[in-house]
Amino acid sequence: MTHLRPPRKPSSPRPAAAPAHAKPAAASDEAKLGLAWLHTAKFLTSASKISQLPQGDMPEIAFVGRSNAGKSSAINTLAQQRQLAFASKTPGRTQLINLFTLGPRDAPQAFFADLPGYGYAAVARGKKLVWQKVMADYLEVRRALMGVVLMVDSRHGFTPLDLQLLQFIAQRVKTGEVKLLVLLTKADKLTKSESKKAIDDASAVLADFTTDDSDIGVTLFSSLRRVGVEDVAEQMMAWKAAMPERVHFELPPMPDGEVEDEAVDRDEEDEEDDAT
Ligand code: GDP
């Protein structure tokens, strides 16, 4: 297993929240807590427009990547739920942003946002432009976005569209407002030396976004062989620890008639066990 290695310049200090590579134990208590937290993921709602997403302070972690990069598999593996992310692959729903809650159902602690996969060869140019606008809008202005998990096929490395996506969030990553974790997916297909090269190449690209304030990690990942899963779980716990205590959010109108509390203030739930 390869641990997260923020591609820091030699002179840069380590981030305050220790990256997973600082704790090499395979399944640390932190990883177990992280996995328990990730297991609480539940589908909340879909949105085809940014304006349909819930507003408020709920910390949000976005999952992004090219079509076929292994994003759905990664989300399902991390949540330890077989079907969680595959609903988004139903034809007609692929352009939707799917939101999942994390934490207790009546007092969520964070959202996962599964964003549309991009770069599918068959997608017409017009649709690509729509995608670019949606992604740029989302990544640049979504206020409570605190982390981006970018899935990149480890055999191919960053593609031009991945680099374009990185540009959308570059400013917020450099200031540390948005944390970045790159998963080099399908790592089971690589030899040891190819794995090392994949990490080195990705780290070289990510060095451009690294500042003293940024929080950037990269790890090999395989849903098939469960490579990197504990590392990601640890990193999610570190991100969770950096989330604000007090969270308020409002859900958009529910078209299906399912009534959820309109507003949840987590302040009252602070004593709850996080890892239920
Ligand atoms: P998405 O389009 O990014 O959501 O990708 P999927 O999760 O649907 O995966 C795309 C393809 O890659 C599927 O055929 C998966 O079976 C395969 N795949 C996903 N994760 C892995 C992995 O860890 N190892 C291998 N070998 N294949 C994978």
Cβ < 6 Å from ligand 1: which residues? 65, 67-73, 117, 185-186, 188-189, 222-224
Nearest to 96 by CA among 107, 84, 87: 87
- Distances in Å between the alpha carbon of 134 and those of 117, 165, 188, 193? 12, 11, 32, 37
Average of per-residue pLDDT values in the chain: 81
The mean pLDDT value for 148-153 works out to 98
Highest average pLDDT, of 44-53, 137-146, 218-227, comes from 218-227
pLDDT of 122 reads 59
- Going by alpha carbons, the residue nearest to atom 28 of ligand 1 is 186
Which residue is it, tokens 């090999």? 220
To test the ligand 1 pocket, which listed residue (64, 71, 73, 89) has its Cβ within 8 A of the most ligand atoms?
73
Rg (CA), the chain: 18
What is the spatial distance between Cα 115 and Cα 88, in angstroms, rounded to a whole number? 9
**Ligand 1 centroid to 67 CA: how many Å?**
9
pLDDT of 134 reads 81
Q: What are 54-75's pLDDT values in tens digits? A: 988 899 999 999 989 999 999 9
What is the spatial distance between Cα 62 and Cα 72, in angstroms, rounded to a whole number? 13
Does this model's pTM top 0.95? My answer is no
To test the ligand 1 pocket, which listed residue (64, 68, 219) has its Cβ within 8 A of the most ligand atoms?
68
Tokens, residue 185: 């997916």
